[in-house]
Amino acid sequence: MKYVLTMLLLSIFLLLRPATPPAMAQEPPLVLAFYYAWFDQNTWSSGQSVDLPAQPYNSTDPAVIERHVAQAQGAGIDALVQSWYGPQVENNQTETNFRTLLDIAAARGFKAAVDLEVTSPFLGSSGAVSQALGTLIATHAQHPAYLRYQGKPVIFFWRQQQYSVETWAGIRSQVDPNHDTVWIAEGTDLAYQSVFDGHHLYNIAWAGSPADQLARWGDRVRSYEAENQVDRLWVATAMPGYNDTNLPRSNAFAVSRQGGDYLRTTWRGAIASQPDMVIITSFNEWLEGTQLEPSASYGNLYLDVTREMVTELRGSPPPEPAPLQVASQPAQDSGAPASEVESQSTPAEVAAAQSQPPDGPYIETAAITNVRSGPDTDFETVGRLDAGQTASVIGRTEAADWWLVEFTPAPEGQGWVSGEVVEFVGEVADVPVVEPETAPVETEATAASEGETEAESEEAVDAASTEEAVIEEPTATATPAESAVIIVPEGGVNVRSDPSLDADLLGRLDEDTEVAVIGTDQTGDWWEIAFEAGPNGRGWVAAIVVELEGDLDSLPVVEATEETADESITPTPTVPRVAGSIEATDAINVRDEPSLDGTVVGALYQGETADVLAVSEDGDWWLVEFAGGPDDQAWVAGEFVEFEGDLATVPIFGLGTPTPTASATPDATITPTPTPLPLEQPTFAPTATSIYDATSAALLAARGTPDPSLLEPGDNDNDSFGWSDLPWGILSLVVIAGFFWYQFVLRRRR
C-alpha cells in the first residue's frame, strides 16, 4: 500500500506543478530598439521633451544616422526598427531617412527594419496600406541590411487595430500570400494572430509589475500557438523609463528611470518571459522620455546599461563598433569647421575634439549668426552658425568689423560674419586684411534697407538672426488693416509663402499670438499676415484654423506672388466646407476642443450623424457642425464614430485646407476638389504613442481594449486552463485529503 500512496502523491505532484515552458533556443534572442527619424531643431526647442540629446541633431543628416547606428552597435543592439509612414517621398522623411539607414547599416554590418504606422497621414485606407506593404516587400525588404528572422524579412506594425482581422487577412493574401515575411502585431488583442506571425507590446510602463505582465503575455502567445497549432513569435519589451508630462495629454504620467534600474528590471523581465526577440522602447523617442540615446541629463548611462544587459545575456560584451565614416551635413553642424578627426575617430573622440576651440584666432557666436559671401549685409547669406559655435578666423576687413572665417558649406569653404554679433578671441594684428572679390547681390532686402546705416542693417539681419530666414522690410503691396488681427488657437498654426498647402512652409505661430492681417485671397480661405520671416515680411495662414477679429470689409484681396490690384475687393466671409459626415456608433460626448479635458457641449446618440468640417492633426478627433458648440462647431472622438466621405478632402485643423475650386456665385457653397490632400511633414515628431494618449491600464480599459490582467475571469478567450491556475489553498486541501484518506480509510481496510 505504501507504493500506492507513493504513486498517488507523485501523480498529484505531477498534476499540480506548473507546465514546463518550452525550452529556449540555444541562441539568445535578437535585441532590437524602436527608432525615430523625424527630428529637427524645432523638436529640441519645442519644450515638449523632458530631456534633450547630448548632441541636438537633424534626422536627415547621414552622419547622425551613422552615429546612431554606431551607438546601437556598441550597446549590443542587433537592429533598429524605424517608424515608417509609407513609400511616399514628398514630405515624408521616414522613407528617405530609412533608405539612408539601410545603406549605412549595410556598410557597418548592422540591420534595420520597419515599424509600419498604419495610421500614417499618407495611408488613409486599407488599399493604401496594401500598396505600401507591397512596395516595402519588393524594395526595402530585399536590401541586404534589412532585418531577417529565420531568413524572412521582419515587419513590425503600429495600430493594426485600425482595420479588422478580416481586412488584414485580405491584405496579407494580396501582398504576402505565402507568408514570405514575418509580421509582428502590437496591442492587447491576440485575435490578430490569425493573420500575423507574432506579437509585441509597445509600452509596458503602465504595468505595476512589468516582469509579471511580460510573463503573462509570453504565456498567452504560446497558448495561442499551442491551441491553434501555429508558430507564433513573442517579442518582449524593455524600457528605460517613461515621461510624457510635457505633452498636452490629460493622462500624461512618468515612470522613474531609477538610475538605470528600471531598464534592468524590464530587461530581465523580458528575458525571463522566454522571448524570440527583445525590443527596447526606445532608442530615441524623446517626447515620451523612453530614449537610450545619450542625453544632456544622463550622458551615455543607458547605452552602458544596455551593453551591460546584453553582455549578461550573451556571456560576452558586444564588439566595439567601427569608426565613423560619414561627415556631418552642413545643415546639421551649421558650418562648424570640418574636422578630419570625425572620419577616423570614435564618437567620444569626435565630441571631445569639437568641444576644443580652434588653434589661432577664432570667433564664438552668442546666437544663431548669418554667414555671408562678403563683409556687408548686402551680400547673400551662404549659411549660419549655431549659438555657441566657434570658427577659425582667416581674415578681416581693415576696420575689423567683419571676420572671414572657415565655413565648409560655402562654395570656397569660407564666409564673412559681422563683428558686432560674435566674440573675437585672439590678436587682431595677427589676422590679415582681406578684400572681397565679389560685389554685393542686389536683393529686395537691399532695396528695402536703403537709407539705413550699416549698423542698423546688421542689427536687423545678423544680430536678430534667431529666425531661420533673413528678415526683410515689407514692400507696400497692401495696407494692413490695423483693426483686423488673427488669434492663433491652441497648438499653433503653420505659415506659408502662398495661400496653398503646396506652398513653402515659412514657420509657425505660437498659440494665443495676435498678428496683423494684411489681406485675403479671392476665396476667403486664407489670410495674408505680417510675418517677418516671410518674403517681403509676409506670410499666409488658413482661415479655418484661426480666429479673425476686426473689420472684414477693410481687407483687400491679395494675389499670391503678384502685384495686387489698386482696388479693394471685399471677400465673402469664410464658410467651412463640409468634407464628409460621421455617424455615432454609441452614445458619445461632444466637446468644445479636441481633448477629453474639453467642456461637454452636448452629445450624439447611436445612429445620429453630423457633417464633418475638419480633422485634428493627430487624426483622433473630428470637427463637426453642432448647434450647441462654439460657432456651431464642436469635436467628437473618432474612436466612437464611423466616417463617410473622401478622407483626402478633409481639412486638417492646424494645417489648412486643400485649395478649393470656387463656385460660380460668391454665396454658393464651395466644393473641394477630390484631389489628395498634400500633408506637410510634422514640425514635431508624431511618434508611435505621441499621436495617441498614453496606454495606461485605466485608459485601455476605458477604450474597450483593457489589459488582460484587468479582465474578469473567463473574459480572456486566449487563456487556457492549467493545474497551476488553481489556488494553492485548494491544492493543499487535495493533498491533505489524500493523506487522511490513506491514514483512516486504506489502513483500516487492512
Q: Is the pLDDT of residue 663 over 60?
A: no
pLDDT-based confidence at 223, cuts 50/70/90?
A: very high
Distance of CA 78 to the CA centre of its chain: 22
For residue 2, the tally of other CB atoms under 10 A from its CB is: 7
Q: Tell me the fold of 30-314.
A: TIM Barrel (3.20.20)
Each residue's pLDDT tens digit, 722-744: 444 455 556 667 777 777 776 66
Q: What does the pLDDT average to over 540-545?
A: 80
355's enclosing H/E stretch is helix 347-355
Q: List the domain boundaries for the chain.
A: 30-314, 348-463, 485-554, 580-645
What's the pLDDT band for 747 if we cut at 50, 70, 90? low
State how far the Cα of 417 lies from the Cα of 364, in Å rounded to an integer: 11
Q: Which residue has the higher pLDDT, 630 or 65?
A: 65
Q: Which of 233, 82, 23 is nearest to 149 (CA)?
A: 233
246 Cβ contact list (under 8 Å, min separation 6): 47, 48, 49, 50, 252, 287
pLDDT grade for 348, boundaries at 50, 70 and 90: very low
In this prediction, residues 26-36 reach a mean pLDDT of: 92
Quick one: pLDDT at residue 735?
74
Give residue-wise pLDDT tens across range 115-140: 999 999 999 899 999 999 999 999 99
- Give the pLDDT of residue 4: 52
349 pLDDT tier (thresholds 50, 70, 90) = very low
Intrachain domains 30-314 and 580-645 with the same fold? no
Closest CA relative to residue 678, chosen from 494, 468, 489? 494
Q: How confident is the model at residue 480 (pLDDT cuts 50, 70, 90)?
A: very low
CATH fold of 580-645 reads SH3 type barrels. (2.30.30)
Question: For all residues of the chain together, what is the average pLDDT?
Answer: 76
Look at residue 713 and tell me whether its pLDDT is greater than 90: no
pLDDT at 338 over 60: no
Which of 44-58, 60-74, 510-524, 628-642: highest mean pLDDT? 60-74
Closest CA relative to residue 182, chosen from 143, 225, 152, 221:
152
Per CATH, the number for 485-554 is 2.30.30.40
User: Each residue of 246-273: pLDDT tens digit?
Assistant: 998 888 899 999 999 999 999 999 999 9
Residue scoring higher pLDDT (380 or 161): 161
* Residue 187: CA count within 13 A, CB half-sphere: 20
Taking the C-alpha atoms of residue 68 and residue 137, their distance in angstroms, rounded to an integer, is 25
- Give residue-wise pLDDT tens across range 424-475: 999 888 899 998 766 665 444 344 334 433 443 343 334 433 333 333 333 3
Which comes out higher in pLDDT, residue 632 or 280? 280
Cis peptide before 282 (omega within 30 of 0): yes
User: pLDDT tens digits, residue range 665-679?
Assistant: 333 333 333 333 333
| pLDDT 10s digits, 570-622 | 333 333 457 789 988 777 888 888 887 788 888 887 788 899 988 887 778 88
348-463: CATH number: 2.30.30.40
Give the pLDDT of residue 576: 46
What percent of the chain is modeled with pLDDT above 70? 70
> Can you give the pTM of this predicted structure?
0.49
Question: Which residue, 75, 56, 44, 60, is CA-closest to 240?
Answer: 75
Examine the pLDDT at 156 and tell me if it is beyond 80: yes
Secondary structure of 620-674 as H, E, C letters: CEEEEECCCCHHHEEEEEHHHEEEECCHHHCCECCCECCCCECCCCCCCCCECCC
pLDDT value of residue 113: 98
**Is the pLDDT confidence value at 529 over 60?**
yes
Q: What pLDDT is recorded for position 554?
A: 67
* CA gap 536, 531 in Å, rounded: 9
Let me know: does 11 contact 740? Beta carbons within 8 Å.
Answer: no
Q: How far is CA 586 from CA 601, 603, 637, in A?
A: 17, 10, 11
